[in-house]
Homo-oligomer: A and B are copies of this chain.
Amino acid sequence: MRDLTRLKSLQALEASARHGSFVGAAAELDVTPPAVGQLVRSLEDWVGYPLFRRRRSGAERLTPVDEAEDALNDIAEGLDRLETGLRKLRGRKARSVVVVTASQALVANWLLARLDDFSTNYPTIDVRLDVSDRVIDLAQGEADIGIRCGLGAWKGVKSTFLMSEEIIAVCHNRLLKADREVTAGWIVEQTLIHDGTPHPGGNFPTWAEWLAKSGANQVPAERGLKINSTAAVIQAAVAARGVALVRKALVAQELDSGRLVHLLPDVRWPVKWAYYIVAAPKALRRYEVAAFHDWLASRPR
């Protein structure tokens, strides 16, 4: 065992040989192609001769040299066995639990619709949702991992960008009139739903600001429905109580179903707040937390 070294390079070599390219190997190993190339070239330096014949085009870019073919069988077998061993180690724990925290709005409107996919991919990991609109202290272990909306620079946790956000105007399709075009003027006449939750540094617009940008001639009246819960704002819109300014990500499902309608889609208002996956470094050492993190990070939005 003393002489076993460059394990990562062996892994990169074997994957590259199987794929016939560094790009293919990189996709499998979830790294960039230059990383794979460097690992293989490092091993070539070590052994003192090229391990692949290179071609600059064609489907098969890398062909193992004859000298390496026999060794590749051993390496592949060895990696298989290691993977089997690691799987057995993991499999000995029947089930594990990952505690996930997110706001009410995000859970209800975004995360719940996606959790089935996680459970399908990881049947032995149970997800426990901790729904809270306050900031859960992940560094203290109150939860394992979470999704937060904000500027991203939280202390003591690792933040991975998930998706950006913009503010849009929406209303229930029931409020639309077939003989009345949706204009800024029309919107001003509706009951406007105001989201009163704090979002420091996020440059979220008020109704006045948004309407000014949309070209409205009138200033909105100081009436309307004021709610200090993002989730409830969305519920009010869904309940046809009026027109709401909401975060686009949180109403994606309602827009897809047609229940809510995106008004004046040409009016864009990107905000500085975005969604991040957040977890304490200590928690990420656990397989189930890392698995949830990686699953989230690699999913379409």
Contacts and interface: CB of A to CB of B under 8 A. Distances in A.
Query: Could you say which of A28, A81, A285, A286 has the most chain B C-beta atoms within 10 Å of its C-beta?
Result: A81
Contacts of A74: 81-82, 84-85, 88
B286 A45 contact: yes
A182 interface: no
A247 B11 CA distance: 48
Interface in A99-147: none
A79 B4 contact: yes
Contacts of A86: 3-6, 10, 71, 75
A62 to B, nearest CB: 15
A299 interface: no
A6 B86 CA distance: 9
Interface of A is mostly: helix
A56 to B, nearest CB: 25
A6 B81 CA distance: 14
A281 to B, nearest CB: 11
A46 B82 contact: no
Given A43-B89, A48-B286, A71-B92, 10 more contacts: A2-B29, A4-B79, A4-B83, A5-B86, A46-B285, A48-B288, A71-B84, A74-B85, A74-B88, A78-B82
